[in-house]
Amino acid sequence: MEEQVIELKAEILKAMAQPTRLRILECLRNGEKCICEIVPAIDGEQSNISRHISVMQKTHLVSTRKEGVRVMVRVRDPKIFEILDHVGLLLKKQIVETGKLIDKFA
C-alpha cells in the first residue's frame, strides 16, 4: 500500500516537473483560462500546450471543459500553488546560502 502511494506521488511530481507545465500552472494561478489565452501567455504552440495539459489531466492537476469552441482549463486544487510557492522558498534559500558560500571564497 505504501509503495502505491509513493508511486502516485511520483506521478504527480513528474507531471509538474517540466518547465512548460510549470508555466501553464503559473498562468492558471489567477483562475480558469482558455487554451487560446494560455498559448500566447507562455509563448507556446497550441498542440504542444494541449499535450502538456493532457498529461496534467491524467494526474488530476487540471481539468478542462468546453465552452462553445473554447477549451477552458483550470487547476483542480489550488493547494498545488502552495507546493510551487514552497519550492520557490527553497530556491531562494539555496540562492542565499550559495551566495554566502561564494562570499567566503571571494
85 belongs to a structural domain:
no
60 belongs to a structural domain:
yes
57 belongs to a structural domain:
yes
- Judge contact between 59 and 11, C-beta under 8 A: yes
103 belongs to a structural domain:
no
Q: How many domains does the chain fold into?
A: 1
84 belongs to a structural domain:
no
Task: Grade residue 106 by pLDDT with cuts at 50, 70 and 90.
Answer: low
What is d(CA 56, CA 59) in angstroms, rounded to the nearest whole number?
Answer: 5
94 belongs to a structural domain:
no
> Which residue range(s) make up the domain with 42?
2-77
Task: Grade residue 1 by pLDDT with cuts at 50, 70 and 90.
Answer: confident
Cell numbers standing for residue 6: 509513493
Q: What is the pLDDT of residue 51?
A: 97
Q: What is the mean pLDDT of the chain?
A: 94
26 belongs to a structural domain:
yes
Read off the CATH number of the domain in which 69 is found.
1.10.10.10
| Dihedral, CA of residue 34, residue 43, residue 62 and residue 67, to nearest 10 | 10
